[in-house]
Amino acid sequence: MPLPDHLCSGVMDVDLRHLRNFLAVAEEGGFTAAARRLHLAQPTLTRSIRTLEEALGVRLFDRTTRRTALTDKGRELRSSLVPLLHRLDTALTGLRKGESLRVGFNWGLPEGLSGTAARFGDETGVAVEFVRSDTPLAGLDTGTVDVALLRAEPLPKGLRGVLLCEDTRVAAVPGHWPLAARSRLGWAELADLPLVVNTVSGVTFPAMWPAGRRPTVGAECRNYDEWLEKVAAGLGVGSAPAAAARRHLHPAVRMIPLDDAPVVRAYLAYPSHGAHPQAARFADEAWRAAEALATKGLTADEQPARGC
């Protein structure tokens, strides 16, 4: 049965959010700390408490310029609400048991995302399941996943998401080519070489170079593993995010840092309409975790782009 948005008692309609806001003020001992905890503007919280008092017809707090204290009625309400809301939270959390959030990817999950998924499952009761899908939208286009890691810009119409990380590129060069002896390569140099193109989930295409100076297509494939094997066979070169390349090596392919190459951005995306109820929350928590990882121990001037 769907849960109501408010609790009804006789002629009183009391919004559940007002009750949670009341408890926050009571527990924090003031509006400023409670507003910070609830991520609300203080005037919004003040209006919420005033609305609750008017609905109940009692004063819940004695307010002065120096302190905020519960009235007798406020203490009575707090004593009743604490066990009531605890039971409600337990019941709501129980509903999520067995629920899962499917996260699609083509290849190479960014650093830390698995840890974020584990914490998310512990906190919400919703298990995060990673699903590899070799489709352009990593399973969002076929409906097999709820959220997807996409390395595409801009995000396709009908999707929203967060920028999770961005990474530099490396060139993938056949190990038996003389070029594999180089310590660095320039992005423009790749225009003179055949390119192995992953047509489904790749991040490198001839159109990324200026017209009139674009690489020819040496071979095409449909996933990262095939791409590596075709490069290893000497059918051409390619490029990939540096972090992904470090995690997916091939003994016959040399990964070489690229200068002046466009960065690769990775997004966590989900449908703009009809998304899984936990999709936006998971994307936001993954974004916050990526930001913390990228800036850990650095000053504002030293902070780099979010690395993958």
Specify if 137 maps to a domain: yes
Regions of the chain short of the pLDDT cut 70: 1-12, 93, 95-96, 297-308
Q: Give the domain range for residue 220.
A: 169-262
49 and 68 together in one domain: yes
49 and 183 together in one domain: no
137 and 200 together in one domain: no
R_g of the chain, CA atoms, integer Å: 27
- The CATH number for 39's domain is 1.10.10.10
pLDDT of residue 180: 97
pLDDT of residue 243: 87
180 and 33 together in one domain: no
152 and 176 together in one domain: no
pLDDT of residue 153: 81
Specify if 224 maps to a domain: yes
pLDDT of residue 306: 55
Q: State the DSSP string of 228-267.
A: HHHHHTTS-BEEEEHHHHHHS--TTEEEEEEESPPPEEEE
Q: What is the number of alpha carbons within 13 Å of residue 78 lying toward its C-beta?
A: 19
115 and 236 together in one domain: no
Specify if 208 maps to a domain: yes
Choosing from 38, 73, 95, the residue where a domain stops is 95
Spatial CB neighbours of 234, under 8 Å, sequence gap ≥ 6: 174, 176, 177
Q: Which residue has the tokens 């119409």?
A: 157
pLDDT of residue 302: 40
Specify if 278 maps to a domain: yes
242 and 276 together in one domain: no
Domain count, the chain: 3
57 and 130 together in one domain: no
Specify if 110 maps to a domain: yes
pLDDT of residue 307: 57
CB atoms within 10 A of CB 101: 22
Specify if 209 maps to a domain: yes
183 and 224 together in one domain: yes
Specify if 304 maps to a domain: no
Choosing from 95, 118, 141, the residue where a domain stops is 95
Mapped onto helix, strand or coil, the DSSP state of residue 137 is coil
pLDDT of residue 12: 61
- The CATH number for 239's domain is 3.40.190.10
Choosing from 80, 95, 110, the residue where a domain stops is 95
Specify if 1 maps to a domain: no
